[in-house]
Structure 1
Amino acid sequence: MATPAGPAARRREPGARGRLRVADRVYARIAARAAREALADAWSGRAERGGPPKVSVAAPGSTVTVRVAVDLPFPADFAALARAVRERIVAQVGGLTGTRVAEVVVVVERLVTGGAA
């Protein structure tokens, strides 16, 4: 009996089909959005807001390292906000790309004063 020659016969296991290469700019966009989402509650109800996060990434091999520079409201719990940013970036980048995040460096660029709106 002949072997089927259709598309189903040519399917291989996922690891044998090839590789996926995610561009650094994709990691950066995911990380920037995650940082904005993590800080959204801290900025809500404030008259003045900080600028968008500035993100740079390095993806050597199967891991990614993220550096994100953010503006934070003052006064605030900076350690808690930085932790929230790190956790959100790790979850979003890992969840959407399947890439392990080796390190997230959060740099506070500016403190923005100003009370509630």
Structure 2
Amino acid sequence: MPGVSGTGSRVAAGERGATRIADRVVAKIAAQAAKEAIDAPPAGGTAPRATVTVHRDTARVRVTLELGYPSDIGRQCGGVRRHVVERVGALTGMDVPEVAVQVERLHPVADGTARGRLR
């Protein structure tokens, strides 16, 4: 075998080939990262979903999720964006320049305390 010997010599980078990570695998990583980033999943809500477009070493991600309400929606969406960029980049080595977060549904939090105006 050329370039391989028992003395520890290395194979040239051009001869090693390439690793391709399927879009659906990157989408699963992004969805799991979004799940990790939200404060607490709402009762009765569905798990976050993600779709990904990969071009070479760049992934553009769209995450759809459900959140509890009332909550700081902007802070949670920002946290999701940051965590998805971090996890997808760390696990795949891809650049993630864009993470679009879509809040599909808000679930009322039943904690027994009334918030807002009551009539």
Size of the aligned set, in residue pairs, is 110
Q: Given the superposition, is the C-alpha separation of residues 101 and 26 from structure 1 closer, same or farther in structure 2, using an over 3 Å criterion?
A: same
Are 1:81 and 2:76 counterparts? yes
**With structure 2 as the length reference, what TM-score do the two structures score?**
0.81
Greater per-residue helix proportion: 1
Give every structure 1 segment of 4 or more consecutive aligned residues whose post-TM-superposition deviation is greater than 6 Å: none
Alignment of 1:1-117 (within 5 A): 6-8=5-7, 11-14=10-13, 16-39=15-38, 41-43=39-41, 48-116=43-111
Structure 1 unaligned regions, length at least 5: none
RMSD of aligned C-alpha atoms?
2.3
Report the CA distance between 1:50 and its aligned residue. Answer: 1.9
Percent identity over the alignment?
Answer: 41
**With structure 1 as the length reference, what TM-score do the two structures score?**
0.82
Structure 2 unaligned regions, length at least 5: 113-119
Task: Write the letter of the residue equivalent to 2:96.
Answer: V
* Equivalent residue, structure 1, for 2:115: none
Name the structure, 1 or 2, with higher relative contact order (CA <8 Å, separation 6+). Answer: 1
